[in-house]
Chain A
Amino acid sequence: MNAIKAVKLKSVIMKRILFLFGALVAGNLFIATNYRSAGNLTGFTTGTPEIKSISALAFGPDGILFLGDSKSATIFAIDTKDASRIEKSPSIEIKNIDQKIAALLGTQPQNITVLDLVVNPLSKNIYCAVQSIDGKPVLLKITGDKIQAFGLNDVMFSSVALTNAPGEEAKDRRGQPLRNWSISDLGFYDGKVMVSGLSNQEFSSTFRIIPFPFGDKQEQASLEIYHAAHAQYETNSPIKTFTVSQLNGKKYLVASYTCTPLVLFPLDELKPGTHVKGRTVGEFGAGNSPLDMITMKKGDDLFLIMSNSNRPLFRVKYKNIESYEGSLTTPVEESFATAGVNFIQLPVINVLQLDKLDEGQIIVLQRKTNGDLDLWTANDRWL
């Protein structure tokens, strides 16, 4: 009896599955056709990317989500098919988001870590990478107050491995890379994916520029970049977070490191095989690590907003950076003092994640003093 029931039920469900598959395939074809005309899906295939970890997220054009996987030393480009543009997002507030995510994942808040959180600049939906105690990364999509899983099975994707010079990246007998990477930040600017990180072996900062769509030829450039020497020593420490901005008509990589120097590198000088020296324009305090950086505009003014591990949010006017001609080459003598470009400390602490929600709003993931982890929206009063 049970067997007959099961067969009947199976038949009902399979019909439904077939219908869903049909709809999905038709949808894929429709959207794919639309995108192809934009030329962004070169090299994409449909399948399930083998993602071992999610270290950093960044959105590219047309709803393409870049995902930095330190464990497999690979950057994945996922077509989220979430590309309908809205200009303004409703403000979002999810209190105790860690408890809500934990419950949805069937575990306790202490067993999960939010790895990164980014806003899709077209749809304004929020994509959030979470890691549970077992190490498995999960991608969530947040629309309003609704949190749902973003499935990474049967998606359109392409990928590029973070290799060094040809032949240098040896593999062990099981075909795994010998180096472990830590991808600290990921961004998409001017048609290129930019990646900062550190390897477990030699001490050197790695910064890569990879043209997108990812081609057959890996045209990525691995760069040695140094920030301004204090006294006589220079360093190629790993960049913690970065953004790209135009200053005095020229594009710069704006980067920050542990102990919070703010360093500028002219983008046109970042070429492979060159020793690029950055100009330190600010020292924002020792005993701190920058976590996230975004650029916001209000009126004619552009602002850099920076979240920190042990400091409140910083706000820096790009005009001040433009007019700061100097380079800080002598150490700040007073403990925990700051120097260089003027910056404002905003009265908000423990901001773990930060992104631009729309032209006038910022999404903030904040650990409150009572221990709650809240997702909320700040408006342009901060600017």
Chain B
Amino acid sequence: MIRLFASFSLIMFLQVPQGCVSKNSDPPRPVAIVWKDDQATALSIPLSYVDHLDSDSIELLKVRLSDAKISTDILGQYALVDDNIVFQPLIPFTRGLRYEVVYHHDRVTEIIIAEPADRPEILSFYPSIDTLPLNLLKIYIQFSRPMREGTSLAHLTVLEDKDTAKGIFLDLQPELWNAEGTLLTLWLDPGRIKRDLQPNKLLGNPLRQGKHYALQVSKDWTDTRGAYLPRDYTKEFVVTERDSLSPDPHTWKIETTKVGSNLACVIDFPEALDFSLLHHAIHIINEKGFVLEGTIDLLNKERTWRFLPAEPWTIGKYSVQVETRLEDVAGNNLNRTFEKDLKAKEKSTSNSEYIILPLTIEK
């Protein structure tokens, strides 16, 4: 029991970094806002707001949203830390809203949570190229900050030659975001891309050949702090013919590199490949089969893969290991095309997981 007591005290101490709390001892001290990762995660309320010193008095202290339609105590935890009552709500306080501290049903003070000072931005759209195949499968949007999730499609508009095109993207809940909440994966509805499936028959392919498209992202979209994008963003592209061919690694151009150097290994592809898979599906391995540590950069609009090794190249045999799940922008991977035609006699498809290409290291 003593150990439980000790650990609880420690948790309470850690919840409020001392540097964040107002230390002014002249009464009445203001309520301090506790910030973490640019979010207001707690209020530190001096005990001077409580006139009777028993635990019931603390229970009469509540935090509520000011001017709310429904006035109710906010769910959260109250803890006593030094001479402050620290209230930690279940979710951070919302930027731009006002909150009141209520004691015995009377408002004793009000706190305004300031709007964020900076705004999120869109850094890039992938594929970067502006001529895309009819059966384009995915679009990625890279943001500078974690964005609000679950509302993406409400902020996206696709214009086809200036008319709104509907149902282009798969309505996926939950949405596909990276762990940081900064990269969104959008799937063009695969049911509409695959020929002869009901959605394709009824609604047609999401994109049409020869048309000009503009993917617009509305400035109404906020980040996780409630800060809006500074402007509308647009990715424009034109659509060419269907890509029904698997990428062929044997057509790739692999530049040689030198022993003892930290020079990059550079691979050029004849077409742009999938942005996400390019980061994960190509590896440089040594003769023992170990994957080399290093940094991957994509250049030339996802048509060049550059690997900078963490250690200089040494004498020995290296190779490029390409996972066959690597896809082009139309979802054709190294083993199979995106559409599987059951009637057509396809060339025999491989089931191997990797394709190995030689990498020459010059002395």
Which A residues lie at the B interface, using CB under 8 A?
Answer: 2-3, 5-6, 8-10, 12-14, 16-18, 21-22, 25, 52-53, 55, 70-71, 99-100, 103-108, 111, 113, 115, 131-136, 138, 148-149, 170, 176-178, 180, 182-184, 198, 200-203, 229-235, 237-238, 257-259, 261, 283, 286-287, 289, 309, 331-333, 335-336
Measured in the bound complex, the distance between the Cα atoms of B106 and A187 in whole Å is 47
Measured in the bound complex, the distance between the Cα atoms of B187 and A334 in whole Å is 26
Contact A134 to B201, CB < 8 A, known contacts A105-B74, A105-B75, A203-B338 = no
Do A104 and B8 touch across chains, with their CB atoms under 8 A apart? Answer: no
Residues from chain A with Cβ under 8 Å of B279 in the complex = 178
Least Cβ–Cβ distance between A374 and chain B, in angstroms:
15
Do B72 and A103 touch across chains, with their CB atoms under 8 A apart? Answer: yes
Number of A-B residue pairs with CB-CB distance less than 8 Å in the complex they form: 215
Residues from chain B with Cβ under 8 Å of A16 in the complex = 55
Residues from chain B with Cβ under 8 Å of A238 in the complex = 172
Q: Which residue of A lies closest to B50 (CB)?
A: A9
16 more A-B residue pairs beyond the given contacts A182-B173, A331-B196, A335-B202, with a C-beta to C-beta distance below 8 A: A2-B83, A3-B83, A9-B54, A9-B58, A13-B58, A52-B179, A104-B74, A111-B94, A138-B90, A170-B280, A176-B179, A180-B178, A198-B187, A232-B344, A286-B199, A332-B198
Do B58 and A233 touch across chains, with their CB atoms under 8 A apart? Answer: no
Contact A180 to B82, CB < 8 A, known contacts A134-B225, A331-B197 = no
From A8, A53, A148, A261, B198 is in contact (CB under 8 Å) with A261
Residues from chain A with Cβ under 8 Å of B4 in the complex = 18, 21, 25
Q: Which of B143-151, B237-245, B248-256 contacts A (4 or more CB under 8 A)?
A: B143-151
Least Cβ–Cβ distance between A373 and chain B, in angstroms:
13
Residues from chain B with Cβ under 8 Å of A5 in the complex = 47, 53
Q: Which residue of A lies closest to B197 (CB)?
A: A230
Do B94 and A180 touch across chains, with their CB atoms under 8 A apart? Answer: no
Do A105 and B53 touch across chains, with their CB atoms under 8 A apart? Answer: no
Q: Which residue of B lies closest to A331 (CB)?
A: B201
Q: Which residue of A lies closest to B148 (CB)?
A: A133
Q: Which of B63-71, B123-131, B155-163, B210-218 contacts A (4 or more CB under 8 A)?
A: B63-71
Residues from chain B with Cβ under 8 Å of A180 in the complex = 176-179, 185
From A21, A106, A230, B94 is in contact (CB under 8 Å) with A106
Number of interface residues of B (CB under 8 A): 86
Least Cβ–Cβ distance between B26 and chain A, in angstroms:
11
Interface centre among A115, A138, A170, A258 (most CB of B within 10 A): A258
Do A233 and B83 touch across chains, with their CB atoms under 8 A apart? Answer: no
Give the top 4 A-B pairs by smallest Cβ distance, nearest first: A106-B74, A231-B196, A103-B70, A200-B185
Residues from chain A with Cβ under 8 Å of B290 in the complex = none
Least Cβ–Cβ distance between B165 and chain A, in angstroms:
14
Measured in the bound complex, the distance between the Cα atoms of B99 and A8 in whole Å is 29
Digitize B169-187: 1 where CB-to-A-CB distance is under 8 Å, 0 elsewhere: 0111111111101000101
Residues from chain B with Cβ under 8 Å of A9 in the complex = 47, 53-55, 58, 80
Contact of B259 with A by CB under 8 A: no
From B73, B226, B276, B339, A133 is in contact (CB under 8 Å) with B226
Do B94 and A259 touch across chains, with their CB atoms under 8 A apart? Answer: no
Measured in the bound complex, the distance between the Cα atoms of B344 and A331 in whole Å is 19
Q: Which residue of A lies closest to B82 (CB)?
A: A6
From A107, A148, A177, A336, B65 is in contact (CB under 8 Å) with A107
**Chain B contact surface mostly:** loop
**Residues from 237 to 289 in B contacting A, C-beta threshold 8 Å:** 274, 276-277, 279-280
Q: Which residue of B lies closest to A105 (CB)?
A: B91
Measured in the bound complex, the distance between the Cα atoms of B331 and A317 in whole Å is 38
Measured in the bound complex, the distance between the Cα atoms of B93 and A136 in whole Å is 12
Contact of B17 with A by CB under 8 A: no
Do B190 and A235 touch across chains, with their CB atoms under 8 A apart? Answer: yes
Measured in the bound complex, the distance between the Cα atoms of B73 and A179 in whole Å is 40
Residues from chain A with Cβ under 8 Å of B68 in the complex = 103
Measured in the bound complex, the distance between the Cα atoms of B315 and A65 in whole Å is 56
Residues from chain B with Cβ under 8 Å of A232 in the complex = 196, 341-344
Interface centre among A3, A100, A138, A230 (most CB of B within 10 A): A230
Do A200 and B176 touch across chains, with their CB atoms under 8 A apart? Answer: yes
Contact of B327 with A by CB under 8 A: yes
Q: Which residue of B lies closest to A258 (CB)?
A: B191
Q: Which residue of B lies closest to A259 (CB)?
A: B199
Do A106 and B99 touch across chains, with their CB atoms under 8 A apart? Answer: yes
Digitize B109-145: 1 where CB-to-A-CB distance is under 8 Å, 0 elsewhere: 0000000000000000000000000000100000000
**Residues from 40 to 68 in B contacting A, C-beta threshold 8 Å:** 47-48, 53-55, 58, 63-65, 68
Measured in the bound complex, the distance between the Cα atoms of B266 and A23 in whole Å is 64
Q: Which residue of B lies closest to A110 (CB)?
A: B151
Do B198 and A14 touch across chains, with their CB atoms under 8 A apart? Answer: no
Residues from chain B with Cβ under 8 Å of A104 in the complex = 72-75
Residues from chain A with Cβ under 8 Å of B65 in the complex = 103, 106-107
Contact A259 to B198, CB < 8 A, known contacts A6-B83, A108-B97, A135-B146 = yes
Do A287 and B203 touch across chains, with their CB atoms under 8 A apart? Answer: yes
From B72, B167, B173, A287 is in contact (CB under 8 Å) with B167
Measured in the bound complex, the distance between the Cα atoms of B150 and A297 in whole Å is 34
Measured in the bound complex, the distance between the Cα atoms of B77 and A318 in whole Å is 48
Residues from chain A with Cβ under 8 Å of B74 in the complex = 103-106
Measured in the bound complex, the distance between the Cα atoms of B48 and A90 in whole Å is 45
Measured in the bound complex, the distance between the Cα atoms of B170 and A258 in whole Å is 8
Q: Which residue of B lies closest to A22 (CB)?
A: B1
Measured in the bound complex, the distance between the Cα atoms of B333 and A13 in whole Å is 63
Residues from chain A with Cβ under 8 Å of B342 in the complex = 229, 232-234
Residues from chain B with Cβ under 8 Å of A2 in the complex = 47-48, 83
Measured in the bound complex, the distance between the Cα atoms of B316 and A13 in whole Å is 68
Do B202 and A336 touch across chains, with their CB atoms under 8 A apart? Answer: yes
Residues from chain A with Cβ under 8 Å of B172 in the complex = 182, 184, 198, 238
Measured in the bound complex, the distance between the Cα atoms of B39 and A131 in whole Å is 16
Contact A107 to B94, CB < 8 A, known contacts A3-B83, A16-B55 = yes
Do B176 and A182 touch across chains, with their CB atoms under 8 A apart? Answer: yes
Contact A203 to B177, CB < 8 A, known contacts A106-B74, A108-B94, A134-B92 = no
Contact A133 to B222, CB < 8 A, known contacts A9-B58, A104-B72 = yes
Residues from chain A with Cβ under 8 Å of B53 in the complex = 5, 8-9
From B201, B274, B338, A230 is in contact (CB under 8 Å) with B201
From B72, B190, B222, A237 is in contact (CB under 8 Å) with B190
Measured in the bound complex, the distance between the Cα atoms of B200 and A333 in whole Å is 11
Q: Which residue of B lies closest to A339 (CB)?
A: B198
Interface centre among A16, A103, A229 (most CB of B within 10 A): A103
Do A286 and B55 touch across chains, with their CB atoms under 8 A apart? Answer: no
Do A331 and B198 touch across chains, with their CB atoms under 8 A apart? Answer: yes
Contact of B325 with A by CB under 8 A: yes
Interface centre among A3, A10, A108, A201 (most CB of B within 10 A): A201
